[in-house]
Amino acid sequence: MNQTKVHISLGIIILALIVLSLGLGSVFLPINNWFDFSHPLIQLRATRTVSSIFAGAGISLAGLLMQTLFRNPLAGPSVLGISSGASLGVVIALALFPIIGIVTSKIALLVLGISGAVTVLLLIILASKYIANINTLLIVGLMIGYFASAVVGVISFYTDKSSLQAFVFWGLGGFDKELQAITVAIYGVLILLLTILSFTKIKVLDTLLIGEEYARAIGVNTKANRLVIITIVGILTGVITVWCGPIAFLGIAVPHLARQLVKTSKHYHTIIATLLIGGGIALCCDIISRVPGRSEILPLNAITSFIGAPIVVWILFKNKSIV
C-alpha cells in the first residue's frame, strides 16, 4: 500500500470515528439525531470531537519534530519535560495570580503555559551545546521535567483547595475542558498555523534526520532552523497542554506508528500520517473515556497510557541500543 492509500484509509477511519463520537455518550440519541447540529448535545459533542482531533494531531506532530530534532525515538513532549514546563505555567496562573490580586484568565493560562514549555525546550537546547551524547541529553530533559514537577508540587501544597482541585482535575487530561466554540476555534487555528509552518520545514527535517553535519554541509542554517522547530514544538505543547491538560504517550508513540505505516522517512508523508493517526487515536480515546451509556467519565491519560505504554516498550525492545 503506497503512502497516498495509507492517508486515504486513515482519513476514512477518522470520518467513521467522528460519526461514532457524535452518536455515543452517556445519553443515548437515535441515529437520525446524530447529525442534528441544532441539538445542544450534538453541539457539545461536535466541539469535543474537534478538540480531540486537533489536540491529538498537534501533540503527535510535536513528538515527531522532537524525535527528528534529537534523532532519538524516545524523545517527546512528556519525556523531555516540556509538558511539565507547561504544567508549571498553568499552576502558576491558577494558584499564584489570585493570591497577588491578578484575575486568572484564559489568556494568562495560554501565555504562561507556552512560556513554560518553551523555557524547558531552551534549557534542553542550551544543555545540548555542552553534552554530545544525545541519550545523556534525554536524561537531562527528564531531570528538568522532574524539577518543574517538584516546583508544581510545592506550589500546589501551599495553594487553596479550590485552585488545587482545579489543577488536579486539569492534570487528568480531557477534551471536555473547553467546549465554547469560539475558544476551540482559536486554539484550532493556532495549531493549524503551526502545522502549516511545519510543512515549510520538510526539507530541513529530512536533512536533520541524516545529521546536522550533513545539513550544514549542504548549506542549511541548522541553528536558525533548530530555533524555529523548537518554537513550533514549544507553542504546540503549551497550547495543547493548557487546552486539554497534559496528554500522555501520544507524542512518543504516534510518530512510530506513522513511520511503520508509510514505510518512509520522508517527512511529507510522515507528517500527514502522524496528524491523521494522532487525531484518530485521540478521538478514539475520548470516545472510550466517556463510557458510552453510563454517566462516568474516565481520565483521558488512563486511556492514552493503555495504548501508548505498550508501544514505547516495543520501541525499547526494537532499538536495543537505547538501553
pLDDT in tens, 167-221: 777 777 788 766 677 878 888 899 999 999 999 989 888 888 877 777 777 777 7
User: Cell triple for residue 254?
Assistant: 504516534
Q: Are 183 and 176 in contact (CB under 8 A)?
A: no
Q: What is the pLDDT of residues 121-142, one digit of tens each?
A: 788 778 777 776 666 777 887 8
100 pLDDT tier (thresholds 50, 70, 90): very low
Alpha carbon separation from 294 to 11, 148, 290, 319, 323 (Å, rounded): 29, 37, 8, 41, 43
List of residues 6+ apart from 109 with CB closer than 8 A:
89, 90, 93, 94, 242
Q: What element of type H or E holds 288?
A: helix 267-289
* DSSP assignment letter at 307: H
Measure the CA–CA gap between 238 and 214, rounded to whole angstroms.
31
Q: Using CA atoms, how far apart are residues 186 and 194, in angstroms rounded to an integer? A: 13
- The pLDDT confidence band at residue 43, using thresholds 50, 70 and 90, is confident
All structural domains of the chain with their residue ranges: 3-322
- Domain 3-322 architecture: Orthogonal Bundle (1.10)
How many other β-carbons are positioned within 10 Å of the β-carbon of residue 38?
A: 7
Amino acid in the structure at residue 105: S
Phi-psi domain of 77 (left: phi exceeds 0; alpha: psi -120 through 50; beta: other): alpha
